[in-house]
Structure 1
Amino acid sequence: MAFPIIERMIETLAGPGAGEVEDLTASDLLALARGSKTAEDRAAAELLQVAARWADLHPPESIHTAASFTVAGCEHEEPIAGPGTPLVAEFCVAELGTVLGITSGSAKKLIGHALELRHRLPRLWAQVHAGRVPAWRARAVAEVTIHSTPALTREAAAFVDAQVAAVAGKIGPAQLDRLVAETIKRHGLAGQDPAADPEDGYLHVDPRHVTIHDEDVHFAGTVRLEAEVDLADGLDLHQALAHRAATLKALGSQESLDARRAKALGDLARTQTALDLFQHGHTSGPDGQALPVAREVVLHAHVDATLSGDTTVFGSTGRLEEGQRLLLLDQLKSWCGDSRTKVTVKPVVDLNQPKAAPGYAIPDRIRELVVLRDRVCVFPWCGRPARGCDVDHVTEYDHDADAEGRPQPGPTHTDNLAALCRFHHRLKTHTAWRYAIIEPGIFEWTSPHGHRYRRDRDGTTALDPPGPGQGPPRIPSPRR
């Protein structure tokens, strides 16, 4: 299938070379910038069409083979957009995601947005492909209508579509939330009589939330959070942070006001009484009983260390599993010394020393080695931390081999194990996706359509595409 708009975009972006760009006039540069942006918008619109068509090719019926049966953990039909949109085969998102270089979750969202726009927001869909509304803005509307609570009926979504299309999609997040709230009110979706409430329908949508973006960790060891709270709660929180920040300054803190307010928010999350008493030299209460541990957050930090005589010398930097980010030793010291934190030091695991165990079960010592070696799910572009993943036998363990006197083809050995999140573990087990260990920590995947990817500690690399006329391999029967 050819995508002329995407091809034209590539030609536009790759048009003048670096030297030629330097020779362009200001007017030429502006024209090139406008053309590049137009090509980018058209390519994004065409990608939505591709995603919708990909869903068309993978309806729930595509899951079933000649014999109709259900196997626990097998693929199932997946609703990824609002009521009234087609269902799709669950695992189809993985291959589209890998060729785009995005996660399966991101591919699922892309397909969901495409189906939502095509089936429930057709006016906005038409404006995207007419070039009047950029794809990113339309996708923002689709994200809201898909996840509205309560869910929008097809008729309610059509009302939103008509209102948004009337202004060519130029609507901000606050206006969109208000529109959806009004839609919920008009269509009686919250269980109330639409004509009975004289107040603003916006009040029927509860926007309160607290979101901590713990998957996006800054190199300084910080994470971003956002919240929407009641006005009274917000004013109380503001007062509490201001008071604590002023207290920290009075106690000698030289940090900025913003840093002290951020630290104060962390203090609120811990046992404040125990923290304050410990800072003033008290480690037990009046009755002599030890104070409870103030901080109970579990972090997995890895810092290189060497022995110098009887002294252990730590490196200045390390790695924090949470967020897969660089860790400074000074940060670790401050976190551990800030409160009565319980610190556990585990033995060093030699990742170059293979380990094996009899039978199918994976002992903790082997699981720990796999977790430390792989760090994340080893499926192409997946970033789920390995500590929360399954440990998979890359070559299937044969439960009947010992009883029948045959060699075990899939031993419980670190050279035959890999970390896979539950979704990609099921994908590997029940579809034609296959992978092999090239060497410990390096994996090569082959998709049902013959695309190949290498996954190692540095990330994912797309290898050679399938050759001309190469079709997808036969899908085997479900495996254990």
Structure 2
Amino acid sequence: MEHGEPIAGPGCPEVAEFCFAELGAVLGMSTTAAKRLVGHALELRHRLPRLWAATHAGTVPPWRARRIAEATIHTTPTLTPESAGWVDRQVTPFAARIGTAQLDRLLASALARQGTPPDTDDPEDPTPVKDTRHVTLDDGGAQVSSSGTIRITGELDLADAYDLDHALKEGAATLKALGSDTPLDARRAMALGELARHQRALDLHVQDNGQANGPGAAAPDGVKLPAARRLDLHLHLSASAVASGKHATGAGLAWDSTVFVEEGQRLALLQHVKDWLGDSHTEIRVLPVIDLAEEITISSYTPSPRLQRQVQLRDGTCVFPHCSRPARRCDLDHVIPYDHDAAAEGRPQPGPTTTSNLACLCRRHHRLKTHGRWRLLALASGVCLWTSPHGHHFLRDRTGTRPLDLGLDGAVVSRQDSVLPQPPQPAPGQRRR
């Protein structure tokens, strides 16, 4: 059920968790973004009062105030109200008079001076430092470049960084000795990929008879070696990308066409996909094509793997307004609830497990639909009409989210005055399903 959630520093009130969803939907942002907005407002109001007043007076831009609030909320250790007040006094007079880089340095300095836990016995103890190590794939929605590359960033321990640099130097030198004429930076990137596929060294193990193992071949001790690379990519081809009459050889594919890669919601060239799959150490699994227009129905409550896959492909993401969580990480929810007692009592199933009655919902919005007084109506397969507790209406489909108004006759009208398709109305005396 709904509970209070602390979204700002100590001294700020908790907030009922379900309220963020409606605020975000009305403002045209995700629930997470709305939660962050409210957290920043609470942090400013209760722990940074000078900055809050300066923002209301118009002397500090709201985005700068939010930047400072974000920093004071997420500190290690957590700032006490007194420490937050000290930071407020130090930063507010300069928040609107210096550049962004200077503001960040000033804020970091103030936080560092207030970062020592108040219960420390030795004032000479170093301030605990937040562990900032990470390796991050740029998965924030950026598209793959025209050359099929993607950016990664990282922060490593110094010793690990030196070891990695040495390994990349050795790998780049090995590739050059093997005849590669690509630039040094490109060979270092290739060497990093080889480190990720270190299993390939085992795949090339030479047995007693002098024959090298292939992908998945048995090692001398009888252990089956896995393939060096396994690409779980789900690709979507347009009809124009496939030439008629040539299917088995792939010669009919237009390799300069684009393909939609479900992982990361990205576009890539078919030529790059061909290169990825052309490696002899790549394991390829061919899955059956699923018709998204087909209505699949099963008698049980739990969807079959094929039905689950179809709904995930159809929705793409969580179907709640402005939510972008991938469908593969979502629950499959019955839009009309499944009645577990219907069969035993001889009644027709009001909420069948069928394509048009299933929708992908992330766990947060699944709970919201179950316990948060949001109403969901499926106008068509993959087309959802949401009604918030305060009567706001949102249409969600594969193209995104649109705010709606309901006319006096109940007709669904978009705010661009376009009448949308209506769900079928039951005949007099017929029970709505």
Give the TM-score, by structure 1 length.
0.73
The one-letter code sitting in structure 2 at the alignment partner of 1:418 is A
Structure 2 residue 62 is matched with structure 1 residue 121: no
Are the equivalent residues in 1 in contact too, given 2:137–2:153 (CA < 8 A)? Answer: yes
What residue in structure 2 maps to residue 425 of structure 1?
Answer: 366
Q: 2:30 matched to 1:76?
A: no
Report the Cα offset of residue 404 of structure 1. Answer: 2.9
1:434 to 369, 372, 375: 375
Q: Which residue of structure 1 lines up, in the alignment, with residue 246 of structure 2?
A: 308
Give the letter for the 1:421 counterpart.
C
Alignment of 1:362-441 (within 5 A): 362-441=303-382
Separation of aligned partners in 2, 1:398 and 1:274: 54
**Does residue 123 of structure 2 align to residue 195 of structure 1?**
yes
In terms of mean alpha carbon deviation, does 132-141 or 232-241 score higher?
232-241
Per the alignment, residue 208 of structure 1 pairs with 133
Superposed displacement of residue 286, structure 1 = 7.9
Unaligned stretches of 5+ residues in structure 2: 206-210, 409-433
Pairwise CA distance, 1:409: 1.5
Residues 337-346 or 147-156, more deviating = 337-346
The answer to whether the 8 A contact 1:274-1:292 is kept is no
| Count of residues in Structure 1 that have an aligned counterpart in Structure 2 | 387
- Corresponding residue for residue 111 of structure 2: 180
Q: For residue 102 of structure 1, report the CA deviation from its aligned partner.
A: 1.1
- Report the secondary structure of 1:443's partner residue: strand
The AA in structure 2 aligned to 1:298 is D
Deviation at 1:127, TM superposition (A): 1.9
Which SS does the other structure have where 1:438 is aligned? Answer: strand
Q: 1:195 to 1:395 in 2, by over 3 A?
A: same
Contact 2:393 2:404 in 1 (8 A): yes
Does the residue aligned with 1:384 lie in a helix, a strand or coil? Answer: coil
Distance 1:466 1:119 in 2: 42
1:298 matches 2:298:
no
- SS of 1:407 mapped into structure 2: coil
- Is contact 2:376–2:384 with CA below 8 Å preserved after alignment? yes
**How far off is 1:466 after superposition?**
8.6
Q: CA deviation at 1:164?
A: 1.4
Query: Aligned partner of 1:356: which letter?
Result: T
**Greater helix share, structure number:** 1
- For 2:387, give the aligned amino acid: T
| Corresponding letter in the other structure for 1:99 | V
Per the alignment, in what secondary structure is the counterpart of residue 36 of structure 2?
helix
User: Which amino acid letter does the alignment assign opposite residue 269 of structure 1?
Assistant: A
Following the alignment from structure 1 to structure 2, what is the Cα–Cα distance between the partners of residues 389 and 355? 19
Secondary structure of residue in 2 paired with 1:463: strand
Partner SS, residue 133 of structure 1: coil
In structure 2, the CA distance between the partners of 1:409 and 1:276, relative to structure 1 (3 Å rule), is closer
* Aligned-partner Cα distance in 2 for 1:234–1:120: 39
Q: CA deviation at 1:288?
A: 8.2
Cα separation, partners in 2 of 1:310 and 1:319, compared to 1, 3 Å: closer
Report how far residue 338 of structure 1 moved: 4.5
1:126 and 1:194 map into 2 onto residues whose CA distance is 37
Inter-partner Cα distance in structure 2 for 1:222 and 1:450: 45
Change (3 A) 1:398 1:154: same
Matched-pair contact (CA < 8 Å) for 2:231–2:283: no
Q: How far apart, CA to CA, are the structure 2 residues paired with 1:297 and 1:310?
A: 21
Spell out, residue by residue over 1:315-337, the C-alpha distance to the aligned partner (whole angstroms, 9 max, x if none): 54322111111232222233334
Once the two structures are superposed, residues 415-437 of structure 1 have per-residue CA deviations (whole angstroms, 9 ceiling, x without a partner) of: 11111111111111112211222
Q: Is the 8 A contact 1:373 1:441 kept in 2?
A: yes
SS of equivalent to 1:391: strand
Q: Which amino acid aligns with 2:398?
A: R
Distance of 1:144 and 1:466 partners within structure 2: 45
Paired residue secondary structure (1:308): coil
Asked whether the 8 Å contact 1:377–1:386 carries over to 2, the reply is: yes
How far apart are 1:272 and its partner, in Å? 5.8
Contact kept, 8 Å, 2:295 with 2:355, in 1: the verdict is yes
Cα distance change of structure 1 residues 173 and 276 upon mapping to structure 2, 3 Å threshold: farther
